[in-house]
Amino acid sequence: MTIKVGDRIPETTLTLATDEGPRPISTKELFGGKKVALFAVPGAFTPTCSAKHLPGFVDKASDIKAKGVDAIACLSVNDAFVMKAWGEHQGVGEDIMMVADGNGDFTRAVGLEMDAGKFGLGQRSQRYSMIVEDGVVKELNVEAPGEFKVSSADYLMAQL
């Protein structure tokens, strides 16, 4: 079942890409007591994700945080090493946490997985964004297949 507004984020473990290497982080630690803008992409270094989705959040990070967001997180079903390299390539810096859901556990738990096998990518995350306050989903914006509209930084900012 797909997560919806008003639901609590399920307890799973994700991985942060850090300079010291991969660091596990629970969803309780990531979302607890904070307002978090999370956006998920089908894959690091993929065309729309690299040309539009992540760059939009990089460009708008300070504006998003100025609206009361404590953290911005980019999530993908990739490993932490790939997420770190992608973040460096995109000039993310400290503004956005690059979060790896390497096994897709979080993505399955929130019901937002997709089969990208026909593209050679296997099981991935759908493209979406959400605003989470203290572990509860306040806004959820899931893209239609092949679309990039409602998960953008601009769309999310209008919801804050």
Summarised one tens digit per residue, pLDDT across range 9-51 is 999 999 998 888 899 999 999 999 999 999 999 988 887 888 8
What is the DSSP code (8-state) at residue 110?
T
Domain count, the chain: 1
Angstrom distances, CA of residue 31 to CA of 9, 39, 52, 119:
8, 13, 25, 32
Residues 88-112: pLDDT tens digits? 999 998 899 999 999 999 999 999 9
Would you state the structure tokens that stand for residue 73, as one six-digit string?
């997180």
Asked, for residue 33, whether it belongs to a domain, the answer is yes
Residue 1 lies in a domain: no
| Residue 5 counted as domain residue | no
* Phi, psi dihedral angles at 44 (to 5 degrees): -65, 145
Q: What gap in Å lies between CA 79 and CA 153, rounded to an integer?
A: 23
CATH of the domain at 153: 3.40.30.10
Decide if 78 is inside a domain: yes
Tokens 């804050």 -> residue? 160
Query: Could you list the active site residues?
Result: 49
Name 133's bridge partners: 35, 136
Those residues whose C-beta lies under 8 Å from the C-beta of residue 47, and which sit 6 or more positions away, are none
Q: Are 5 and 141 in contact (CB under 8 A)?
A: no
Within-domain flag for 8: no
**Residue 127: Cβ within 10 Å count:** 26
The whole model's pTM is what?
Answer: 0.94
Taking only the tens place, the pLDDT of each residue in 54-75 is 999 999 999 999 999 999 999 9
Q: What range defines the domain where residue 90 resides? A: 13-159
Question: Using CA atoms, how far apart are residues 144 and 156, in angstroms rounded to an integer?
Answer: 16
Q: What is the mean pLDDT of residues 105-133?
A: 87
Flag whether 38 is in a domain. yes
